[in-house]
Amino acid sequence: MGIFSLITGMPGSSGFGSSSTAEDVTHGIDATNLTVLITGGASGIGLETARVLALRRAHVIIAARNMKAANEAKRLIVEDNETARVDVLKLDLASIASIRSFVDKFNALDLPLNILINNAGIMFCPYQLSDDEIEIQFATNHLGHFLLTNLLLEKMKKTAKDTGIEGRIVNLSSIAHQYTYKGGIRFDKINDESSYSDKKAYGQSKLANILHANELSRRFQEEGVNITANSVHPGLIMTNLMKHSALLMRFLKLFSFFIWKDVPQGAATTCYVALHPNLKGVTGKYFIDCNEMPPSSVAKDQTLARNLWDFSNKLVRSASNKA
């Protein structure tokens, strides 16, 4: 898979490529027995992912900060598919209190959880701290998903054990994970404003998404748990994610239009990794255009992944103690 495949849409070894859509890669798959939770499922590729998984008969839980948008997303999905099973719950990934409240409400529904798609994110934001006083891109894109995943792990393990169905966790990363600060993750300067770069901070958070999935995968294999964890790059898609850099992106798109995707294509890799039977047992991998690809060398650093896990736990504990 290279630039030629990206431009032409030529399929890779999976049988799919950059021009494949979410409906293409899930064609013929029956997800009736699956419950899927997707963060940021109210717009963009998250909404398309939710729509297609519901189309394949999965019970979809949309977790979103904007409940008006989430309810509108549900309305659109059900309007398109009257048999769709969709629920919405409020979740602000930049708030530890909101994440804990969300998990309590989800658990109260007494549902199984087969698939967790950590899709939500923000991009190229001006320097800002979360309510828990953590740099906003790291807090939202990585730490929020880290805590959410950890709080849902026992539910996922129990579901996998009780049903015998493999659980799957999909982290949405980005090819931008290659463009980060020196050393990958700035553990000692996570909140440093003086050296803050909106682009590198985004890259750092996307690198963290891959490292998180890899460490999850290692732990699952060590425990013998029937859950996989993988990360994906959805591609370049013009969505609300780019609201802080819309003018720049539109300008760049004029000269690179041949590598951009539409939303149905952008949701394809997520849906493929979440649902396709060919990926049974495949874990700790990184996917682009529905095909496994090697991430950067720093993204494969197992020591960095373990250090990030420990650092993330310490951040959560510290923030929780302040609350």
Q: Which pLDDT belongs to residue 261?
A: 84
Q: Which pLDDT belongs to residue 147?
A: 98
What does R_g of the chain's alpha carbons equal in angstroms?
18
Q: Which of 196, 202, 272, 286 is catalytic?
A: 196
179 tagged catalytic: no
- Please tell me what DSSP assigns to residue 169: E
d(CA 83, CA 254): 40
Structural domains in the chain?
A: 3-322 (3.40.50.720)
What is the per-residue pLDDT across 254-271, written as a single tens digit (0 to 9) for each? 444 444 589 999 999 999
Q: Which pLDDT belongs to residue 248?
A: 52
Round the average pLDDT of the chain to a whole number and report it. Answer: 92
Please give the residue that has the higher pLDDT: either 217 or 244: 217
Q: Which residues contact 239 (CB under 8 A, 6 or more apart)?
A: 43, 44, 45, 263, 266
Would you say 15 and 45 are in contact if contact means Cβ atoms under 8 Å apart? no
What is the per-residue pLDDT across 31-41, written as a single tens digit (0 to 9) for each? 999 999 999 99
Give this prediction's pTM. Answer: 0.92
Ramachandran region, residue 184 (left: φ > 0; alpha: ψ -120 to 50; beta: rest): left
- Please tell me what DSSP assigns to residue 120: -
